[in-house]
Amino acid sequence: MLKTYQYKDLTKEQIQELVNRNTDPNNAIQDTVLQIINEVKTVGDAALKSYAKQFDKVDLEKLYLGQEEIDELASTISRDQMRALEIAFQNIYKFHQTQLKRERTVETMPGVKCWREVRPIEKVGLYIPGGSAVLPSTLLMLGIPARIAGCREIVVCSPPQNNGKINGFVAYCLKLLQINKIYLVGGAQAVAAMAYGTESIPKVNKIFGPGNQFVTKAKSLIQGLTDVSIDMPAGPSEVLVIADDTCNPAFVAADLLAQAEHGIDSQSILVCTSAEIAKNVEAEVEKQLEVLPRKELAEKAIQNSYFVITENLQEAMDFSNLYAPEHLILETDEWKPLINKVLNAGSVFLGHLTPESAGDYASGTNHTLPTSGFARSYSGVSVDSFVKKITFQHISEEGLQQIGSTVEILAELEGLQAHKNAVSIRKKD
């Protein structure tokens, strides 16, 4: 029986406890990650090879695969599989291409013109998880907006398989993205390698990609220790499904399990408007769980998940906004009025026929999203994530006459005489 809570009976403290996840109360994860970061920073490639042996159970002679090896691996997948990846590529590209927009110049006063111009981040690092499931879709989700943005150098890291290579699906995505090298490094050590650079792996300006709690912690630490930024904290995956009496319990159960099979630290939450819905969904979860190849993983994730029963959809939305899910699914006929009530979520899936897995793979939206409540303040990955917007301004003689005295007065009241002089000397000239 899944843990089930009545929303009306929960105190604020109990709700806060429910929405907290992936904490590291004793700093055990942080201590391990700091050790890995320091080792990679100090020893470089040797540390990466040692960690590959320890964590990936593989002896690596070199830490990367080049174009020839990528082409060979890509040729091992079927034409149907290639076509599916191509369709996903096209849809993701089509959605993200619209995000690169030129802004207009604004004349704030006569002769004072201000504008912003977009510039790509020059060197970006993409982390593609391996672990229990290799995710070629993540490579598309990160590589496509990086290409659209015009990033000059794209460094890709992914854990090696036990044969010291990558799978053919990742290789084919590399070909679609015109990336001719991939580094065989996973975990926190991959984040450290891209942040500091090693003999083989270039240092980057920004690191992207989801991962387990160790990868997420490494990204957070690196942002404080170096001049390298990150896309967002994107850790273990999660879904929150809101369902009422119009839902199909089999659909809801399938969506909960789709998230649960990512790994034991994933979380699948159902918020529904009656105990009857919870009962029917739980029966479906048990039934569908039995035939999943990744049953053991999904089962452990489900044990870490729970149901919340609310009296209406408004209460369901209140809880969802407190939880701030990575993925939010509205399995109700009344999804349209709920759109404006969504305050905190990474990506939202509307109605009975919009499974979260469509967004994971091929609808076009990005699946690299904030987790662990960070949807309260972060957006998912987009082309914006791969660019900087630099402000420009130009002041003519007329503009200096218009704005000069304002700047002089403001500089004087702040006691910054040199600021005032920078205007005054020009006005006199």
The answer to whether the beta carbons of residues 202 and 155 sit under 8 Å apart is yes
Q: What was the pLDDT predicted at 134?
A: 74
Domain positions in the chain are 3-22+236-364, 28-231, 396-428
Residue 132: the pLDDT is 61
**pLDDT for 93 beyond 70:** yes
pLDDT higher than 80, residue 192: yes
Best CA proximity match to 66, nearest among 162, 200, 189: 200
Nearest residue to 313 (alpha-carbon basis) of 290, 289, 341: 341
Q: What is 28-231's CATH superfamily?
A: Nitrogenase molybdenum iron protein domain (3.40.50.1980)
For residue 223, the model assigns a pLDDT of: 94
Predicted model pTM: 0.94
Apex CA 298: angle with CA 296 and CA 303, to 5°? 95
Residues 380-404: what's their mean pLDDT?
97
More confident of the two residues 131 and 17: 17
What pLDDT score does 390 carry?
A: 97
Q: Is 266 annotated as a binding residue?
A: no
Same fold? 3-22+236-364, 28-231: yes
- If you search the block for the tokens 């910054």, which residue do you land on? 416
What does the buried/exposed string (b/e) look like for 221-257 if buried means 16 or more CB atoms within 10 Å of the residue's CB? bbbebeebbbbbbbbbbbbbbbbbeebebebbbbbbb
Place of tokens 């927009």: 101
Question: Tell me: the pLDDT tens digits for 103-122?
Answer: 999 999 999 999 999 999 99
DSSP run (H or E) holding 230: strand 229-230
| Rounded-to-integer distance, Cα 234 and Cα 232, Å | 6
DSSP string computed for 264-282:
TT-EEEEEES-HHHHHHHH
Give the mean model confidence (pLDDT) for residues 238-264. 96
Q: Give pLDDT tens digits for 291-348.
A: 999 999 999 999 989 999 999 999 999 999 999 999 999 999 999 999 999 999 999 9
Examine the pLDDT at 125 and tell me if it is beyond 80: yes
Mind listing the pLDDT tens digit for each residue in 219-242?
A: 999 999 999 999 998 888 999 999
| Token code pair at residue 72 | 């060979």
Give CA separation, 14 vs 48, 303, 376, 396, in Å: 42, 18, 19, 61
| Residue 212 binned pLDDT confidence (cut-offs 50, 70, 90) | confident
Q: What average pLDDT score do residues 258-271 get? A: 94
**pLDDT(412) > 80:** yes
DSSP conformational letter for 159: -
> Residue 377 pLDDT > 80, yes or no?
yes
150 near 232, Cβ under 8 Å?
no
Q: Is the pLDDT of residue 263 over 90?
A: no
The answer to whether 327 is annotated as binding is yes
Q: For residue 1, what pLDDT band results from cuts at 50, 70 and 90? A: low
**Burial class of residue 162 in the structure, from the number of CB atoms within 10 Å of its CB (0-12 exposed, 13-18 middle, 19+ buried):** exposed
**Would the pLDDT of 25 be above 80?**
no
Mean pLDDT computed over 130-154: 92
Residue 157 CA to residue 126 CA, distance in Å, equals 6
- Residue 388: partners with Cβ closer than 8 Å, 6 or more residues away: 118, 119, 120, 121
Which pLDDT value is given to residue 177?
98
Given the candidates 3.40.50.1980, 2.60.40.10, 2.40.110.10, 3.40.50.300, the CATH classification of the domain at 3-22+236-364 is: 3.40.50.1980
Residue 360 marked as a ligand binder: yes
Residues assigned a catalytic role: 326-327
* Confidence at residue 22, expressed as pLDDT on a 0 to 100 scale: 67
What distance in Å separates the CA atoms of residue 282 and residue 280, rounded to the nearest whole number? 5
Give the pLDDT score at 403: 98
Q: What's the mean per-residue pLDDT of the chain?
A: 96
- DSSP-derived 3-state class of residue 426: helix
Question: Is 127 one of the annotated binding-site residues?
Answer: yes
% of the chain surpassing 70 pLDDT: 99
Q: Is the pLDDT of residue 287 over 70?
A: yes
pLDDT for the residue numbered 131: 64
Confirm or deny that 97 is annotated as ligand binding.
no
Q: What percent of the chain has pLDDT over 90?
A: 93
Is 367 one of the annotated binding-site residues?
no
